[in-house]
Amino acid sequence: MRFKMTKEEKNWVLYDVGNSAFVLLVSTIMPIYFNYLSEKAGLSSVDYLAFWGYAASIVTIIVAFLGPVLRTLADTKGYKKTSL
């Protein structure tokens, strides 16, 4: 028995693979790279963790404020994607 996927299903699979790669990058590789850069700059591990926490907090706050604004802008300007 052979399973045949529709075009929408194939697109969803590709989207899911890309999204999984992005999450892997952000959650594992970025902290390792940031740690490498902080060691080269002479920061201690305590300072590295503090700066990583500050950066994550600032980005979270920016997204929390910009998300609704950009969503409203997209909805009012007609940039909204149609549902399948």
Using 50, 70 and 90 to split pLDDT, how confident is the model at 34?
confident
Query: What tokens does 51 get?
Result: 């700066």
Confidence (pTM):
0.58
Distance CA 68, CA 83 (A): 20
Question: Residue 82, by phi and psi: left (phi above 0), alpha (psi -120 to 50) or beta?
Answer: beta
Is the pLDDT at 22 greater than 90? The verdict is no
Is the pLDDT at 67 greater than 60? The verdict is yes
